[in-house]
Structure 1
């Protein structure tokens, strides 16, 4: 799967009307939350969408959980295997039933969690609940099917490595991280993917350890009968009885000096330049995630002086931005530039560095900070036009922060960020000893 999370988390749109801005509760829809005795959290969100419902299952397992040497890529692999079937619904039957109702049905994997989602008619909701509960409880696949899908995952890697982004991510993470599992991508290390067909027994244990009710949150958004939904949920998910494994997460040691990494890209593309600093984990009880969300937009967002200078006026860069989003453990805040030519690299690097140092010196535009806060907070809410929009945003933030109301609480934290907090954060974390610089130079030198 392509990593769409940064785009989904950083949706920007015009501000909401003043009446909506005045709400104390920044999320406009009620969450009805119940935790079953087995630990499964079920969240229902009534939404005016006659005849339509979105169904999101968030499993808090991602590439972060892959701590065993030689066993990376399995969180993503299970995104594939979860569509294989069960004894009750053999391979292909679930797809046929889902398609017969007209559901859109898919999944995606991230560093920290995996999401399964379906969107379609309420008339098929009872059938969908039974199908989803069955595969989460009773997934079955034979070793030949496992081997076939493992080869498909290897093919997915080969497809992705033809683009610069995968190799850039691999090199950046492998340079910035020495111990933590964030040092590999969601796809996993290439050697581990090649060896995956021989790991059938391990795959079964991975499923048993992480696909558990106490590690899963379900969001149901749209037009449905709440009592009937909860009755079906309790009937089909109630017998699910596994418990999530305990994880001994390796701690990343502090970085003590600037690191660099370079890629010579064999084919024609534009040069790339990335600055990345280690920053704190996402949390709803501290301001770090909210500060970084605002800070990324402040430094390189489309309203930033840097964007105006480098992209619009001097045209040294095709694009500047950041794909920052919060992580469960300390990760990276990055600034990314796609250069129009290799000759522009020094000037772009100098401009990015200057902007960071100016902020750390105390120079901050309070009015622009406030505008960015409004755009992040209300712009995202303006995009909640359909049950599927609501479901995906709730799922993404719940996957990161581990609580159903994470989206609302994060947006509240964003609204509380003060300009001086950006300055203090830059002084503490955006320093050279904490920095990794990644450069990519294409074979043509970036000349198009």
Structure 2
């Protein structure tokens, strides 16, 4: 998933500052049981985005039960004694709303988008399943088959997904980013309903959750409703996962994946910092700008040079997200044009970063990059769901949504010299993992 392009890159929030549009400041408070609530009032339409985020994801799993965070997400829709047999989604739909959930390496979140009059009902439903989820073995057996099929069609039958999975498994040895969010198939095949129940009992508690509400609401009223429905739930003793620090990489790593595909491809992933300290971690802002210089708009360097000008690639990309509980990767990738080898394209991708390291970027290019990126993100300011996502991601990362404005200021201060400096500093082959997709004929798939 191209997280930086979809939402979680830092620079998209520049729109608010440079275009004079100020978002309503979010208000936050903590219930007596430790549950955090963040509310942003947005009165443009009588609708609300309601989300409950749990600060637990696949990085909190252990070998043998990989994928359990995602499996539990599925089980959360199966019902409670009060709302049995998957009735929650039917209730939401009947009230004119829609609901869903998603699991990430760092968190799991559940959401509803509903008319504002139905917000209290959503809180009732979420509080009920936070506390009273049922675990019927028949439900689990059905859902584990669904998850295994999901793994098949989203990963096992998708060459690019297999490459990404192999890349991360090679780049990370000790850190649990090593395994995929969906889990290894063998772990899914041997998972039990008790594994899901144990995960729920360990992590699903108000003091490990953050509620985010964005829309046509009053913060004081949301607080009263949160206290009414969630405030009575008892907190749990949270036993954090042990730190699994990734050892320093001391040499280039390579992996090849053979899969049915029309074209080969190459993906290069460099170990770079994630944002942990907003004031001190200045390199992350320059790295985000560098990613945008390479692949942040239609005429960015990778596509302009390698696709249109020299025609050595038919597709290229760059991806970096500094918002992460764990370590970060800076990824560049490409699919070679006919007659161009993967090795040649890899060389050219590296050369684009070397060009920035050697020659830098001009102030004009820096400003053009920011302007282009802002333009591409304007529509997201009209999305209440997008605002709720932004708040939730920053909260789950440990940075906190209150730091967003400061991050904007830090990004505005990035200079061409800083971009050139990070291009020199972080792109050594010693921190590089390369994954190649090697196409095979469809008849070779089962060999």
CA change 1:15–1:205 in 2 (3 A) is: closer
Quick one: distance in 1 between partners of 2:225 and 2:203? 23
Uncovered stretches (5+) of structure 2, i.e. residues with no partner: 443-447
Give the distance between the partners of 1:244 and 1:133, measured in 2 at CA.
Answer: 19
Matched, 1:271 2:264: yes
Looking at structure 1, the residues matched to 78 and 406 of structure 2 have their Cα atoms a distance apart, in angstroms, of 36
> Does residue 442 of structure 2 align to residue 439 of structure 1?
no
- For structure 1, the 5+ residue unaligned runs are none
Name the structure 2 match of 1:151: 145
1-structure distance, mates of 2:6, 2:339: 27
Matched, 1:195 2:190: yes
Partner-residue secondary structure (3-state), 1:322 = strand
Change beyond 3 A, Cα 1:16–1:142: closer
The 5-angstrom pairing of residues 25-36 of structure 1 reads 28-36=23-31
- What is the aligned partner in structure 1 of residue 445 from structure 2? none
Distance in 1 (CA, whole Å) between partners of 2:28 and 2:274 is 26
Aligned partner (choices 207, 210, 225) of residue 217 of structure 1 = 210
- Which residue is 1:301 aligned to? 296
Residues 342, 276 of structure 1: CA spacing in aligned structure 2 closer, same or farther, 3 A cutoff?
farther
Preserved contact between residue 11 and residue 408 of structure 2 (Cα < 8 Å) = no
Q: Is the 8 A contact 2:46 2:216 kept in 1?
A: yes
> What CA distance in whole angstroms lies between the structure 2 residues aligned with 1:149 and 1:411?
42
SS in 2 for 1:352: helix
- Structure-1 separation of matches of 2:336 and 2:265: 6
Write the distance in 1 (CA, Å) between the matches of 2:118 and 2:339.
54
Give the superposition deviation at 1:278: 0.9
Equivalent of 2:224 in 210, 214, 231: 231
TM-score by length of 1: 0.89
Q: Does 1:142 align with 2:136?
A: yes
Cα distance in 2 between the residues matched to 1:75 and 1:269:
34
- Larger mean CA deviation between 424-433 and 391-400 belongs to 391-400
Q: Give me the whole-angstrom Cα distance separating, in 2, the residues matched to 1:310 and 1:253.
A: 34
Partner of 2:382: 385
- Does residue 62 (structure 1) correspond to residue 57 (structure 2)? The answer is yes
Partner of 2:256: 262
Q: Trace 1:170-185 onto structure 2 (pairs within 5 A).
A: 170-185=165-180
User: Equivalent residue for 1:126?
Assistant: 120
Q: CA deviation at 1:272?
A: 1.2
Q: How many residues align?
A: 436
How far apart in 1 are the matches of 2:75 and 2:283? 35
Residue matched to 2:317:
321
Deviations 1:347-381 (A, max 9, x none): 32222111222333353333222333444467535
**Per-residue CA distance 1:150-182 (angstroms, 9 max, x = gap):** 121111101112111221111101111111101
